[in-house]
Amino acid sequence: MKSAPAGSFLKLAVGQEYNEGTHCWDVLDDLFDMWPHLIAGTGILMIAIASYSGGGSVALEWSVLFIALQLLMRAGFKLAYIRRSEQASLQLWLYIFWVAALMSGVLWGISMALMFHQASPSIQLMTLTVGCAIVQSATSRGYMAPLQSMSQAAALMLILAAQAVVDGLYLVAPLALLLMLFQIGQVRKLIELRVSELKSKQERVEAQELLAEKAEALETANAQLKHYAMTDELTGLPNRRKFDQRLARQLDEAVRQENCLSLALIDVDHFKQFNDTHGHLAGDACLTVIGLVMKEFADVPRLFAARYGGEEFALIMSSTDSTGAASIAEKLRKLMSEIDMSNVIAGAPGITISIGIATMLNGEPLSAEDLINRADSGLYEAKRSGRNRVRSGDGLKLSSMKELPQT
């Protein structure tokens, strides 16, 4: 364990650099407690009773008065501390406590010196014993506020030792010095333990915060990775994997709720010819534009758009019957036909799409594959009928996209 820093005894509060002052307010809560002063006052009062019983000191009344004054003074400081404002300065209250501690030491010292003066040896011994106990009590809290605690103890012992020297007990002075040196050593060890404890606590908090940050970053990275794994890079739409998951989930929900569900399969007309004429980069640009349009078009709760593969797209329409699906598909077809691709690719013609739709009736037990095949049949019919149109695959003979006319 590292030794306490050289300036530890000059600190108003050990650990003030930790926890942004929260720790120091907790320290002040303890330091302003009245119980140590009540115990010290009781000890001094017991000396006064013993002194009075033995004939007493001429200054006994003054001694009791000073200890009463000390208790009233500390009670006043305690009350002021309790009533402090929420915006109170921590540094100011540390200085206030220093003043209170120093005044306590002085008043204790005067009170005990008055009892010690010209008292019997037994009373003097009792006075020194209680004084040492008070010093021990004060310095035992020195790990929290060393400057105030040591100032308090030093004031008490200095006054009491001076009175002993005045009374001819010269040996008390070096003994008092040895006591203070012993207390300094004890406080130094307590400060070492306190600083080590606070430092370890702060390191634990910092480690926990770092761990939380790392966990959050990992969670964000995983979420991004999951998003990328489910997103088509070119169009920004959900990919085929995400589409399959979404369709299966919404079919299950529709069956449970006895609701209808519609699906549209969309194919870009003459896309192979577009690619051959303008190049693959232009084809990618075309798909990107279509993806943006579909993403904006499907930005409503009931619709879910995805890239199905190649130049094919899909649109899931929850709680939508065949009439509603046809209306939505027709709006999308018209929207696509209004896109001016020449703004993106010089000399490029407008684009059109063919759409096949299929609907699962309320509560109809239909698999995703069956619904896709129905929409596929509708798409085949739209292509066969001349493209740039919407056709329903419900009730049609199932077809395969391999049979589609050349796109």
Burial (CB count within 10 angstroms: exposed 0-12, middle 13-18, buried 19+), residue 171 = exposed
311 is catalytic: yes
Q: Where are the alpha helices (DSSP H) in 230-321?
A: 240-256, 271-278, 280-297
Catalytic hit among 213, 219, 258, 311: 311
Tokens 């300094």 belong to 184
Q: Which residues pair with 267 in a beta bridge?
A: 312, 354
Q: Angle 19-20-23 (CA atoms, 0-180°, nearest 5)?
A: 55
How many helical (H) and strand (E) elements, i.e. helices and strands, does the chain have?
A: 12, 5
45 vs 64: CA distance, rounded Å = 7
Q: Other CB atoms closer than 10 Å to residue 111's CB: what's the count?
A: 30
Q: Angle 137-139-141 (CA atoms, 0-180°, nearest 5)?
A: 80
To the nearest 10°, the Cα dihedral for 327, 331, 334, 338? 170
131 vs 163: CA distance, rounded Å = 13
What DSSP designation does 300 have?
Answer: S
Q: Which among 377, 367, 379 is positioned nearest to 255, based on CA atoms?
A: 367
288 vs 313: CA distance, rounded Å = 12
Amino acid 344 reads V
193 vs 211: CA distance, rounded Å = 26
Q: Which two tokens stand for residue 251?
A: 């079919």
94 vs 99: CA distance, rounded Å = 9
First to last CA, the chain: 80
What DSSP designation does 262 have?
Answer: E
Residues belonging to the active site: 311
